[in-house]
Structure 1
Amino acid sequence: TYGKTLADREKLGVFKPADWTKEVLGTKFRGVLQKRNFLEGLKAMVIAQEPHKKWAPGQEEREVHYHIVMKMASPFAHAKICVDLGALGCKGFFTFPRAGWASYLAYVLLPSAKKLQKDLDPSCLFWPPSFTKENALEVINQVDAKMLHRNSAEVQQQIKATQAENLRNVIENRCVDEADVWRLAKRLKAGGEDLMWNYLETKDVGGVLRKGMLQKTVQYPLSAFKVPDGVQHWMDHGRGEKVLILHGEGGLGKTELACAVMYELTGPFFFLDKLDAAKKINFRGGEGLVIDDVNFSRLEVDDVKSWLDVQKPRCTHCRNDDAFIPAGTIRIFTTNYRSVNFFPVEARMEEHVKAIKRRVQWVDINEDVRRPIPVASPLPLAADPDAEEDPFGFGFDMS
């Protein structure tokens, strides 16, 4: 409820939009962003006045309210901003148009069926000063041009991005989990490109993440395995100096054991099924790396040493590009190849053998490392109170 006079509203601590100029509102709004450490993320802002549906009491003009149209560099806690502005006497709410901020700019700057020319604010406030009305109109025109091209007869209208297009976006922007994918889709949508967003609304987000991305869970805990002594020794003493290579035939649980061990040590980890996939991942710090079914025999011996060096940051060899692995990244490889066939031939030279052995904990898996699942005893049959008693114990077979 508003007070009748400005003095009354000051006492109540609740102001009408008409009590503040656009400059005052802009200053207070930026002050709240500064208080919450969000001001650096404010890229541009437009404040426009709009007539309200209600008429001012006792006057021949309508009440007014303000629109603050802003572009932020990243998501922010908008609920806290509302609370802080409310404490200053400014009541409002946030809306997020699906088509991005260009559509909101068009709403406050251009006449339309929703907003008549006479209701447009002729003196909007633009911030920063370098962001002018001409810049805002250019943003609108760029988005309009994209929409006209998309809707033209020459181009088949595409509402959703394809799986291949989304996968390319995910890889190029180094998305490692579902949160990264949604942030990318929101950023594209804010720029007027909503194809990826439309796709994700109806599909499984995890489906656009490339196979071998960050694993946040494992199928089996470490307690489900009989951990070999060599693996336990590496976990306790060697993981910061050596890589672990698990060798054995297929079907013995090497891969599941590797994942369980890595999850026990690092939590989330990257799981790859080929060396070349490492060039597509982006380490953020602390993640482990598990690579399944590895064979180094086709690599140069110096490239092999790079893959095995845990203590220093390394650019490791991949086809067409190198992968960067930070120092301290714990690594586990699994293989079906014996050591003589696993490494390149030149690695058998004495100087290379020493360099490789000090970087590797090699463990042979000769038996199934998965603990057997105990089989529960069958439950006794419930007594049937209606069954006929057999006092002789001979049964009732009358044949």
Structure 2
Amino acid sequence: MTLLHTVVVVGGGSAGIASAASLLKRRPDLDIAVIDPAETHAYQPGWTMVGGGVFDAKVTVRSEASVMPKGVTWIKQAAASFQPDDNQVTLTDGTEVRYEALVVAPGIRLAWEQITGLEGTLGQHGVTSNYRYDLAPYTWELVQQTKRGRAIFTQPPMPIKCAGAPQKAMYLSCDHWLRSDVLGQIEVEFHNAGGVLFGVADYVPALSEYIDKYAIDTQFGSNLIAVDGAARQATFATSEGEVTRDFDMLHVVPPQVAPQFLADSPLAAESGFTDVDPHTLQHVRYPNVFGLGDAGSMPNAKTMAAARKQAPVVAVNLLQQLAGHGPRAGYDGYGSCPLTVERGKIVLAEFGYGGKLMPSFPDWIIDGTRPQRLSWMLKADALPWIYWNGMLKGREWLAAPGNMVAQ
């Protein structure tokens, strides 16, 4: 069977739904199909707050049907392969979906299997991760239960979605232990496969103050490769060789890769992600294909805030392509990472390509390089509402496409 649509969007997550909504805002009669088999849609930035005992997990998910833009055709299947030379996507059941323009937004895959022994022990033996909806509540259980011993937090090699999330889990946990007067009995270790605390230097001083405040032992160039849950042991690859550490609590961030069906396709860059121009988000070889979100090859931080800025750019440039014109909107690499350094305070990191600071507010309202209460209110109260009622509805508050480029 063959289906025909003007625009096909692969992926019904943040990036896919936002781009479809932004397209319909500009062309309400546009024929759009969204391919995604999921029954639920998650506000994933909220899972950090679940793991810190701030949100209930249920408030972070809604039905996929409730966020699907009115007027699109929802194809409740998974994409299996791309045939861009034929303007076609093939689904897992063999159905062919043809398009005039394609939006590739399938997200990133959590590669739990790359850490030996991890999958069999997740959710038990003190092993958890805020990167999964069903595990974030277990993180909070462990934080409350842990009174002494060793708590280990890990960060794998880049790219990962939300590079600050591994630290967010750690800081919120430490803040609870400090308030509960047990932090002194807990050894906290942060094993980061990278070489720096945070990739944008302007935010490091504030974060370093919290590393000192919580007496966290930072281990750089230390990559988790194996977990023995029953023995409560974690093994890391370091420049000195393999190191095994006992733990009472282990918060794991898994390695992350492009979805295999994308990585195997003609659309992929060497990295496996959609090979697009980092500014126009147009594919470098197929001009009627656009990519955004975590599956894009752009060198920006993979965050929901980045997808919020990218969706309008894709909408403008895709419509330009359908009209026979070149792209005229550009993405500047904006990403945001609200670093929850303690309950009630956040370091609001906002930056673009090259680590350029890109604050949304003047310093006298929010100084993003310092922990602030107002930043916490933004993350805890405003951003979830903006996500559900703005970004997914095509309302481009603080996200209108700019940086016009030559046609």
TM-score for the superposition, normalised by structure 2 = 0.20
What TM-score do the two structures reach when normalised by structure 1?
A: 0.21
Higher RCO structure (Cα 8 Å, ≥6 apart):
2
Higher percent of residues as helix: 1
